[in-house]
Structure 1
Amino acid sequence: MSSLFSSFKGTAQSLTAIRRPWREFFDITAVDIPSSSSDATTRIAQNLTHFRLNYTIILLVVLFLSLTYHPLALVTFFVVLLAWFFLYLARDRDEPVVIFGFLIDDWIVLAALVGLTVAGLILTGVWTNVLVAVAVAAGLVTLHAVLRSTDDLVMDDLESPYGPMLAGGDEELDSPRGDYSGI
């Protein structure tokens, strides 16, 4: 039981570490129209990487709001979310999944969780609500990702897919593809 709580605590701490401050997320001064479609694509990739947990929280809030008038569906999806968390997201990938004494492969766990999610959608009858909520959340996320300038994000975000190419300067970059010069 203590390993379960330590796993939960470790996962919560790692998720908290990657969440960006909401003040940075909602920075009005960083709103700017992209100059081209390639600029918009670059912004989407960088913002999705930089604000991934913030966007996930927005998706979950919109999904929760869409299910508030369906308490059975809300409880069902809370149970499914717990199953996803403990069987897939929070566990160490090196540890095998053992259910009732049987060793279960990762792909079987993933397929079972997807099946459980789809079954929950169909059996509670809220699949249209969920699809609309996900579409609305995806639209909000895309709109923010396109309009949020990434000029202030590139230098401090080492996980950005374009960070090493756009970093500039004469510092050494450890990249599997070699050194990049500034653009």
Structure 2
Amino acid sequence: MPAGFPDSLPISSERISRFRAERLGNVRPFNEFFDKDRISKPKGMGDIAQRLSYNLTHFQSNYIIIVLGLLIYCLITNFYLLLTIVFLIAGLNFIRKIPSDEPFVFHQYVFTQKQLYSGLIIISIPLLWISSAGSTIFWIVGASATLVLGHAAFLEPGIDNGFASADQV
């Protein structure tokens, strides 16, 4: 990526580094995440609730990586959506860099910052429709929920969870 890439994003590099440290800093090892000895059918809804409660917090970073992987997969397989998102980010970045008190002059036409944002919205709605952004979002949500909740419901809590509940008694 170019050196000035993080500066051009609306998200600061400080927030990105904090996200990496807090959310992705405690990724569990592959053999712990896919431990086939701990996979079992839950006994009932109480067991499912206990497993979800433990696994969703314990493997939170791994689940974030799964969702990001599905998002990247969708962007790779839907090239029109990728181009639309690049167009939107570039357009928003271009408009953001224009001073708000100065109009943008293109040949003999003069546009204010509000008009440029409105034009970008008007152009982006059909582009997002054509690139099927809505169905992609629903696919990501459905696939993520199925994978994450399925994994969390069928993986037994670790041994450390038994010690934590015994201390509370």
| Shorter-chain TM-score tier | 0.5 to 0.7
Structure having the higher helix fraction is 2
What whole-Å deviation, never above 9, does each CA across 1:82-129 have from its counterpart, x for those lacking one? Answer: xxxxxxxxxxxxxxxxxx79xxxxxxxxxxxxx9xxx68547423113
Q: Which residue of 1 aligns with 2:137?
A: 130
Matched, 1:144 2:132: no
For 1:78 and 1:37, locate their aligned partners in 2 and report how far apart those are by CA, in whole Å.
44
> Are the equivalent residues in 1 in contact too, given 2:23–2:60 (CA < 8 A)?
no
What secondary structure sits across from 1:67 in the alignment?
helix
Distance change in 2, residues 1:9/1:59 (3 Å): closer
Matched, 1:20 2:28: yes
For 2:38 and 2:54, locate their aligned partners in 1 and report how far apart those are by CA, in whole Å.
14
What secondary structure sits across from 2:37 in the alignment?
helix
For 1:152 and 1:80, locate their aligned partners in 2 and report how far apart those are by CA, in whole Å.
47
Distance change in 2, residues 1:76/1:45 (3 Å): farther
> Are the equivalent residues in 2 in contact too, given 1:46–1:150 (CA < 8 A)?
yes
What secondary structure sits across from 1:34 in the alignment?
coil
Highest CA radius of gyration, 1 or 2? 2
Residue 64 of structure 2: which of 15, 31, 56 is its match? Answer: 56
Residue 41 of structure 1: which of 36, 46, 49 is its match? Answer: 49
Aligned-pair CA distance for 1:52: 1.3
Residue 78 of structure 2: which of 61, 70, 84 is its match? Answer: 70
For 1:45 and 1:129, locate their aligned partners in 2 and report how far apart those are by CA, in whole Å.
28
Compute the TM-score of the two structures, normalised by the length of structure 1: 0.55
> How many residues matched?
127
Aligned-pair CA distance for 1:142: 1.2
Compute the TM-score of the two structures, normalised by the length of structure 2: 0.59
For 2:45 and 2:142, locate their aligned partners in 1 and report how far apart those are by CA, in whole Å.
22
> Are the equivalent residues in 2 in contact too, given 1:67–1:129 (CA < 8 A)?
no
- Unaligned ranges ≥5, structure 1: 82-99, 102-114, 157-162, 170-180
Query: 1:111-126 to 2 correspondence within 5 Å?
Result: 122=129, 124-126=131-133
Report sequence identity in percent. 24
- Unaligned ranges ≥5, structure 2: 1-6, 90-98, 101-120
